[in-house]
Each structure stands twice: as C-alpha cells, then as structure tokens.
Amino acid sequence: MTATTASSAPTWMSMTRGRFVVEVKEFTRTREQMVFIFFFPIMLLVLFGSVFGGQEIADGVSFAQYFLPGMIASGILNTGFQSLAISIAIDRDSDALKRVHATPLPATAFFAAKVAQVLAVSVVQIAALVAIGVAFYDAQLPSGSGWWTFAWVFLLGTAASTTLGIAMSSLLRNAKAASAILTPLVLFLQFTSGVFLVYTQIPTFLQHVAAVFPLKWLAQGMRSVFLPESFEAAEASGSWQHPATAIVLAAWMVLGLIVAVRTFRWTRHDDN
Amino acid sequence: MTEPAIAIAGLRKHYGDLHAVDGLDLEIPRGEVFALLGPNGAGKSTTVEILEGFRKRTAGDVRVLGVDPHHATKQWRDRVGIMLQGTSERGSLTAREALGYAASLYPSPRGVDEMLEAVGLTEKAGSKPATLSGGQRRRLDVALALIGRPEMVFLDEPTTGFDPEARRQFWTLIESVRGDGTTILLTTHYLDEADHLADRIGIIAAGRMVALDTPAGLRARAADARVTWVEDGTSRTEETPTPTALLRDLLARTSGEIEGLEVVHPSLEDVYLRLIGDAASAAAHPTGTATEEASA
C-alpha cells in the first residue's frame, strides 16, 4: 500500500472535468434517462410529424415545422428541469450525494459538472431533432441572426431549467414523489405552452397560465428561430416578444438559483 | 503531530426530547485504531456523522485532525476517508472507473490497481454495483474510503453482511492500513471484530460512553466465572474469581453427582451485554434506548 500513481494535485478544472465525465456516464448508462429524457422528444417529433405533419397551421407552416421548436424547448425542459430534479432527488435518497460530499470535490465543481452534462445532452438532442426536422419535415435552418437568437434562448432556457431542477430536487421530500409530481406538471405545461398543441388554439385563460412559466417562452423563442419571419404575425401577441422572453427566462433562472442555493442539501430530509 | 486525531468534549445531540448523544468525551491519538461499539440507537452513527461533518451537534467541542468538522474544508476532506453505513447498488460506474475518478480528487492517492487488489476486487474491476454482491460493494466502499491515502478513516459498520472469510480479508486490509500510521475509527456490532482490530474499544449506550478500555482491559473485567448447580432441590449461582476452590468445596460436601453443574467463563460478549444492559436500565430517559438511530 505504498505505491502512488504519479499525478499532479487536482485543480478545480480537473475535478470539474472528471466529474463531468462521471455525470455523462451516469446519464447515458441509465436507461430511464436515455429513454424518457433523451429519446422521448425525438420519438414524439417523429410520431407527431408523421401523423399530423402535413396539416398547415398558417401560410407555409406545417404542423411538423411548428412542432420542431416545441420539441426543442421541451427537450431543454426535460433535460434540465425534469431529469435533474428526479436524478438529484434519487441521489439524495440513496446517499449518493452524501458520498460526493465526503470527497474533496468542491460543491461549485459538482454543480458546474451537472450544468455541463445538461448542456452536452441538450446540444446532442437538439442536433438530432433539427437534423430529423430538416431531413423529413421541411424545417429550415436559421439564418445568421437566427443562430444568435438560438444561442441566447438555448442558454437562458437551460440555465433556468437547471437551476429550477436543482431547486425542485430539494423541495420534493423524496425521490418517489419526484417523478409522480413532475411528470404531470411537465405534461400540463407541454399541452398549454404551444408544444403539443398550437398555442393560439388553446383557451385564452390557459394561455395566460402557461405564460407564467418558462416553457411557453422557450417554445416561442425557438419558433422565432426555426419558423419563417412571416409566422411572427400568427403569434398570440403578433410578435416574437424577444425582450419579454429574455426577462421571463432570466427571472425564473434567478428564482431557481435563489431557491436552489437556500434549500440544497447533501443529505436526506430526515437526516440532520 | 502531538495533537490528537480526534478530540471530543461534552458532545451532545438532541432530537427534541431524545438525547441521541448525551455528553460524550473522547480523545483518539494519531495512528490508533478505535472501535465504537454499541447497540442500535446507542448514538454510534450519530457521533460518527458529527465527526464526518454531516450532522450538526447540539453542544460540545469537536476536533478532527484539528478542524471542527462542521466547517469542513476541501483541504480537510483531502485528509479524511469516509465509508458510510449501508451501500447502494445504484451507480453506473464500474469498480475501476469509480476508483479512478475518486483517485483523481486527491493530491497523493493510492494506485487503483493496488486498491482493487487489496480489497480483492481485481476480478470484478469491470463490474458495476448492481452486479456485485453486497459484500463486494462494501469492499468497494472501503477502497473508495482509502484511495485518497487519508490520515483519518471512518468506517461505519464496515463488515455488516460479510461472510466470515470476507471479514477476515477485511481485517487483514485494515491491519495493512494501520501499518501506514492511519488513524481509524470504526463502528461495529461485532465484538470479535473490535477485539481483533482495535487498540481501544469504546462501548456506547444511550448516548453515553459506558466503558473505554483496551480489549485486554475489557476482558479482564470478565475474570469472574459463573458456577451454577442444584443443591437441595434449589438452583444456585455464584460468581467467583476462584471457581476451582468453589468446586472443591462443593465436592467435599456432596456425595455422588452434582446436579446441573455448570462452570462458565464469561466472554467479552458477556461483559459487553452487562455494560449495555446496566446503561439501559440506568438511562434517565425512557425513550433513549428504544429509538433507532436517525440515519438508519
């Protein structure tokens, strides 16, 4: 028990990188995560695209085209919010978080690695969605400024989803409650936020409810990237509402951050 | 390095009316292997989790390697290895991956292959927790606690669920770590384990230390033998340091067979059971011994 592997002292960056690799392995090797978080939006895009794809919902915009940005938005919410909230709650229940806390890994490195994992999974997921949309459903790649819009909507949306996911993991009493509560919640948002149904076709009061939450803005932001400019007039407000989108997503991110920082715990709720 | 590895003074942990730890004092010098023994709910795990920096205390002063674990820093975690109670079959990393990742967090870790070898998991290096047996997972947990070459190691019920051979292997492993000068605090239900491994044993019951001694010192408390027999139709018991003299006396006054004769030398276990039994009946708080440890 004397030999030492020659290695330099770990740094914050090296520990974050190491943890990121662990997080990616944990995600990709967990069947539930891969099926329900990663592949689910892709399967839905193919399903809805095949069934309703041809229907035109506005001039030159098919339902499949409308559905693509919705699935991208929902993928961001799934990967950041739903997946993190449930997986962290499970890790807390099974003492996996406590084990992490027993090591010298700094908390900031742990969270940075989680965020990096969410970003990595989201990027691959969105690339797959866009590739399928372009190949089969006449979706068009955004132009130059569209990519810029995509970048900030994606980053703000992921940031909000991630902080809210971590916050939610602490608010739920245990892992069993996590999926039971979150799955219908996310489903409700998907139906009311212009993901499964066209936003302007749902009752106004439901539109107002959905407008409180981030998914509606995330979906609308992604529509502004992937739908032709002419569709802007068909939005509920007649506008893409970029400033409002940025404000709402940022507000949710800040709220998530505050709650996450104040409520996060490494140990179970009954363990203090 | 004269500073003790662990210094506890007046430690208390209350959950409402339940005094899980009720005034504990303890000092463990560097390099010692110390076993904390006690029944479920005695306050063992609560104490250890306070020392590990996972639980807040109600009162008292605690120093582990000179640091208050409630304010654990990364530098402190570099020097402390922790094996939690219980194990989990969740986790997607193979044994080798988990150890490789853990090693990358410490400034001068032990080698991954060397650790796998030491805990007898070389053959299982490519297996994930779900395909390891309970004992194998526990050995992986030991390896994870030791990989960072810690100065202080906490092992919370390390061999629960081990078969006898696995426990022997574990003991050998701990002896080799002790050779490196590592301080070890282990909690256990097994008296023979504490007897075999520990320099000193602390017996804790109802949140208090009821005995603190070397294994030999504890055994010395078991010097009295218990002699039972039946005389004139009634069963009699006597405890004596000189059972042979008692027997000679008995033989002298009895003709023929002595009915129900039995001479029992109490084991370490008898000492232990008597100690925790006394503590339980003396406990001021009737709920104090009946409640499970909060982490269970």
Choose the closest CB to B77 out of A1, A2, A104.
A104
- With beta carbons under 8 A apart, name residues in chain B contacting A266: 54
Q: Are A172 and A181 contacting, i.e. CB atoms less than 8 angstroms apart?
A: yes
Provide the shortest C-alpha distance from residue A17 to chain B (in Å). 10
Q: Which residues pair with B34 in a beta bridge?
A: B185, B200
pLDDT in tens, B204-229: 988 899 999 998 888 877 767 888 98
Query: Nearest-CA residue of chain B relative to A6?
Result: B108
Q: What integer best gives the mean pLDDT of chain A?
A: 90
- Residue spans of the domains in chain A: they are 12-52+59-263
Which of A118-122, B239-243, B247-251 reaches the highest mean pLDDT? A118-122
Using a pLDDT cut of 90, give the percent of chain A over it: 66
Residues 6+ apart with CB under 8 A from B15: B294
Is residue B276 very low, low, confident or very high in pLDDT (cuts 50, 70, 90)? Answer: confident
Region A139-145: mean pLDDT is: 85
Angle between helices A144-171 and A63-77 (to 10 degrees): 40
Q: How far apart are CA A231 and CA A167, in angstroms?
A: 35
pLDDT of residue B1: 52
Which residue is listed with tokens 């402390």? B80
pLDDT of A244 > 90? The answer is yes
pLDDT of residue B292: 39
pLDDT of A208 > 80? The answer is yes
pLDDT of residue B295: 38
- With beta carbons under 8 A apart, name residues in chain B contacting A101: 54
pLDDT of B287 > 90? The answer is no
Q: How far apart are CA B203 and CA B86, in angstroms?
A: 21
Interface confidence, given as ipTM, is 0.88
**A180-218 as b/e, with b when 16 or more CB fall inside 10 Å?**
ebbeeebeebbebbbbbebbeebeeeebebbbebbbbbb
Q: How far apart are CA B179 and CA A236, in angstroms?
A: 74
Question: Two tokens at A210?
Answer: 């959905």
Is residue A213 very low, low, confident or very high in pLDDT (cuts 50, 70, 90)? Answer: very high
pLDDT of residue A272: 65
Which residue is listed with tokens 């701990």? B174
Strands A61-62 and B18-28, by their bridges, are unpaired
**B157-194 as b/e, with b when 16 or more CB fall inside 10 Å?**
bbbbebeeebbebbeebbeebbeeebbbbbbbebbebb
- Beta carbons of A4 and B111 less than 8 Å apart: yes
pLDDT of residue B87: 80
Q: Which of A132-136, B158-162, B214-218 has the lowest average pLDDT?
A: B158-162
pLDDT of residue B206: 87
SS3 content of chain B, % helix, strand, coil (to 5): 35, 25, 35
Host H or E run for residue A74: helix A63-77
pLDDT of A141 > 60? The answer is yes
Provide the shortest C-alpha distance from residue B290 to chain A (in Å). 18
pLDDT of residue B280: 67
pLDDT of B41 > 90? The answer is no
- Beta carbons of A5 and B177 less than 8 Å apart: no
Strands B33-37 and B183-188, by their bridges, are parallel
Pick the residue with more confidence: B241 or A54? B241
- With beta carbons under 8 A apart, name residues in chain B contacting A20: none
pLDDT of B23 > 60? The answer is yes
pLDDT in tens, B128-157: 999 998 888 988 999 999 999 999 999 999
Q: Are B119 and B142 contacting, i.e. CB atoms less than 8 angstroms apart?
A: yes
Residue B71 near chain A (CB below 8 Å): no
Q: How far apart are CA B36 and CA B47, in angstroms?
A: 10
pLDDT of A247 > 80? The answer is yes
